[in-house]
Amino acid sequence: MNTTASTTTTNTSAAADERSKAARQAITPELRRWIIEQAQAGHPPPVVLQSMRDAGWDEDVATDALEITLQEHLNELAVQQGQPSGVPVPEPLLDESPARVDCGDRVVDVLLAMAQPRVVVFGNLLAPEECDALMAAAEPRMARSLTVATKTGGEEINADRTSDGMFFQRAETELIERIEQRIARLLNWPIENGEGLQVLHYRPGAEYKPHYDYFDPAEPGTATILRRGGQRVGTLVMYLNTPEKGGGTTFPDVHVEVAPQRGNAVFFSYDRPHAATRTLHGGAPVIAGEKWIATKWLREREFK
């Protein structure tokens, strides 16, 4: 066991907890009302945060107060609109805005972090030789990609998804097990709560049109799907190569596109199966070259 890493993680978590407590204590009804009014008026969080800093707030406490208030407000609106309640989700330790995260066997770069929707872009998650090994192991087992059929609980071909793919079993090889352990540490989520790693291959023109990764509660087959580990609550897309053109991961609701860079990854989480999570996303068409990715979906509970 790495005692130094464990102590650092404990200290980081304790510091974050103290800031969160201070933020909650500082959120008076007047401040909460003011933050909500700013959001309803269309002022983006960075502008509101700057106003709080200008008023003399400590930046860390102001950031926590802003995030707590907006998240609680969103949860209240969700309940009022009849949405399902939010659940715990995977979350990397980014409370102190680190440039890098120690994942035990590898140090991963933090390139971008968004709060709403929760999107984090990581650099250097996979080594070049790991990317090559994943593609080589997956290629002989490739077949037309399927999607989960929420009407039946099975799988089906979907015209919106024009890629080839395959699944590895959890810990199927030493390489897979090592990557899964790295992901679990990066996202603070148990290995057993993850589905098997899926590798996808997109040729020129192939794409995956915008969609959500959670399972629609209104579909008749969803109850069967959820028996295997509950809802999906997070997605990690790892880029195994860099296409010549196209192939980015798009988030249409917030007009963001993540470029597919070899070894990098994009993570996003969703605490309820609802469009309010703003996690609509897609794989843009590959214009030139080809795209290889590895996807890890994370469930609420142990995936069986």
Contact 111, 256 (CB under 8 A): no
Is 165's pLDDT higher than 80? yes
Q: Model confidence over 67-81: pLDDT tens digits? A: 888 877 777 766 666
b/e 264-299 (16+ beta carbons within 10 angstroms → b): bbbbbbbbbbbebbbbbbbbbbbeebebbbbbbbbb
Of the listed ranges 46-55, 230-239, 276-285, the least confidently predicted one is 46-55
Burial of 46 (0-12, 13-18, 19+ CB in 10 A): exposed
The 10s digit of each residue's pLDDT in 92-141 is 999 889 999 999 999 999 999 998 899 999 999 999 999 999 999 999 99
pLDDT at 104: 95
* Per-residue model confidence as pLDDT tens digits over 178-210: 999 999 999 999 999 999 999 999 999 999 999
Q: What is the pLDDT of residues 223-251, one digit of tens each?
A: 999 999 999 999 999 999 999 999 999 99
pTM: 0.74
What single-letter amino acid sits at 164?
Answer: D
C-alpha span between 70 and 117 (Å, rounded): 12
Residue type, 169: Q
DSSP H helices, the chain, are 3-26, 29-40, 45-54, 59-80, 128-138, 174-187, 222-226
Tokens 């799988």: give the residue: 155
- Indicate the length of the chain as a whole number: 304
- Which residues contact residue 46 at a Cβ distance below 8 angstroms, ignoring those fewer than 6 apart? none
Helix 59-80 to helix 45-54 angle, to the nearest 10 degrees?
140
Query: What is the per-residue DSSP string for 95-121?
Result: TT--SEEE-SS-EEEEEEEETTTTEEE
Which is higher by pLDDT, 268 or 8?
268
CATH 2.60.120.620 residue ranges of the chain are 100-299
Instruction: Enter the CATH code of domain 100-299.
Output: 2.60.120.620
- Quick one: pLDDT band at residue 155, thresholds 50, 70, 90? low
